[in-house]
Amino acid sequence: MTIRRSLRGLLGAALAMTAAGAPAQETDPALIARGEYLTRAADCLACHITEGGKPYAGGLPVKMPFGTLYSTNITPDKETGIGNWSDDEFVEAMQQGVGPDGKHYYPAFPYTSYTLMPREDILAIKAYLFSLEPVAQPNRENDIGFPFNQRWGIALWNLLFLDDERFEPDAGQSEQWNRGAYLVEGPGHCGECHTPRHLLQARSGSRALGGATIQGWAAWNITGDEQSGIGNWPDEALASYLATGVAPGYGVAGGPMAEVVNHSLRHLTAEDIQAMVVYLKSVPGQPADVRRPENKALANEPPADSRHPLGQKLFADACASCHQWDGSGRQSDYASLRGLRTLNDPQGLNLVQVILNGDALHGPSGHHLMPAFSRHFNDREVSALSNFMLAHFGSQPGDLTPEAIAERRLQAR
C-alpha cells in the first residue's frame, strides 16, 4: 500500500510538471495571480526591462559610483534566465542577495529591502515569473573595475549592513499601518532611492526616507516634515500621487518615480495605497534643503520683467502652450507646475533632466508625454530656460550655467 501510494505521488508530481519544468504549485492560478500582484508591488519590471526589450529579460544599465551594472534575465529560460532555480535558491537570492552559484549580488538589487518579505510571498513571485514565456537572452557582463568587481567583498558588506530579518508587525500600530509599513519598507523598497547613502553605499538609518540623489535625479524627502517632506500633503493628495503620479499643487512624478508609478504603484489596490499613505505620514519628519515653493499669485500671462529674457522666450515658444504662465497646466493636471519641489531646487536636478530627456506617465486618463528637448536646445538655452522657470515658479532661484548643463549631458550618457 505504501509503495503504491508513493508511486501515485511520484506519477502525480510528474504529470503536474509543465513543459518548462515548473512545479505543480507554480501552475496554481490563484498563486500566480498573487505573485503577479507582489511582483508589481516589488517593481521588478522597472529594472528588468530595456526600452524596446522583452519584459523581465534584463539588460538595463544601472550606473553606480563604481561602474555600471546590468540587470539580469529573470524569465524562466533554463539557459539564460532562472528556469533551473529551486525554491530555496530563489528565496536565498531575494532575502540574502546570493545566487545559485554562490556569488553575491550587488545591493543595487534591493535584497536589503526584499529580505523583509516572508518565504510565501517570495515563492508567489517565483510562481508568477515561472508562468511567463521564457526569453533566451544572455546576461551582460557588468562594467566594474577593481576592486569593486571582487564580489567576495559583498559578503563582508552584508555582515555589516544586511539585517536578514523578516517583517514583524508592530503590535502598537493598526493593521493598516503595518500593511503600509510592509509595502513601503519591504517589496516597495522606497528607502533604496529616498534614503541617502554613506561612503560604503549603505543606507543611512538616521536619515531614512529623508531624500537622496540617485543617477542624477532627486528622490525627494518623503518623511513627515511639513516644509520639505509630505507632512502637509492631504491624505488624498498623497494617495493620488502614488496611484496616478500626480497631485495638483503638490507633485508630479518624473524620471525614476514615473517608472515606479507606471510599472508598480498604479496597479496596487486602493486599500494598499491608503495603507502606504498612513505609514508614510507617520514617519518622523526630517528637514531637507529643497522645500515646496511659496504660494505665488501668478497671472496667466508673460511677466513684464524677467532676469532671464532668453529663458522667458523659450518658455513662451515651447512650454507655455501646455504648462501655461501661471503653471496651472492646460487641460491636464499632469502639466501642472504649481507647488512642485522640482521648480524650487536651485540645482534644478529633475528640471534639467526632464527638459533634456522628456518624461512619460501612464495615468487613468491615458498616456501623458513630455517631449525631450536635448537635441533642440543647446546648453546655453537649457540653462536659460531652467533659470527662468526656477525664478518664475519657485522661491529659490537657480543660477545654472551652460557648463553645468554640458556636464549633466555627459553624465547621462
Residues in the annotated binding site for heme c? 44, 47-48, 190, 193-194, 319, 322-323
Q: How many CB atoms lie within 10 A of CB 365?
A: 11
The annotated binding site is made up of 44, 47-48, 190, 193-194, 319, 322-323
Q: How many CB atoms lie within 10 A of CB 409?
A: 15
What pairing do the DSSP bridges indicate for beta strands 366-370 and 246-247? Answer: unpaired
DSSP lists the bridge partners of residue 283 as: none
C-beta of residue 329 within 8 angstroms of C-beta of residue 400: no
CA–CA distance, 238 with 218 (Å, rounded to integer) = 18
Closest CA relative to residue 220, chosen from 210, 232, 231:
210
C-beta of residue 324 within 8 angstroms of C-beta of residue 302: no
Per the listing, cell 553624465 goes with 411
Contacts of 379-382 spanning 24+ positions with Cβ under 8 A: 379/403, 379/405, 379/406, 379/409, 380/310, 381/310, 381/314, 382/352, 382/355, 382/356
Taking each helix axis as running N to C, give the angle between helix 29-41 and helix 119-130, from 0 to 180 degrees, rounded to the nearest 10.
100
Rounded to 10 degrees, what is the CA torsion of 73, 49, 121, 200? 80
CA–CA distance, 311 with 382 (Å, rounded to integer) = 8
User: What residues contact 161, with CB distance under 8 A and at least 6 apart?
Assistant: 107, 112, 200, 202, 203
Helix (H) or strand (E) holding 156: helix 152-161
**DSSP 3-state percent helix, strand, coil across the chain (nearest 5):** 45, 10, 50
Task: Give buried/exposed letters for 131-160 (b at 16+ CB in 10 A, else e).
Answer: bbebbebeebebebeeebeebeebeebbee
User: What residues contact 19, with CB distance under 8 A and at least 6 apart?
Assistant: none
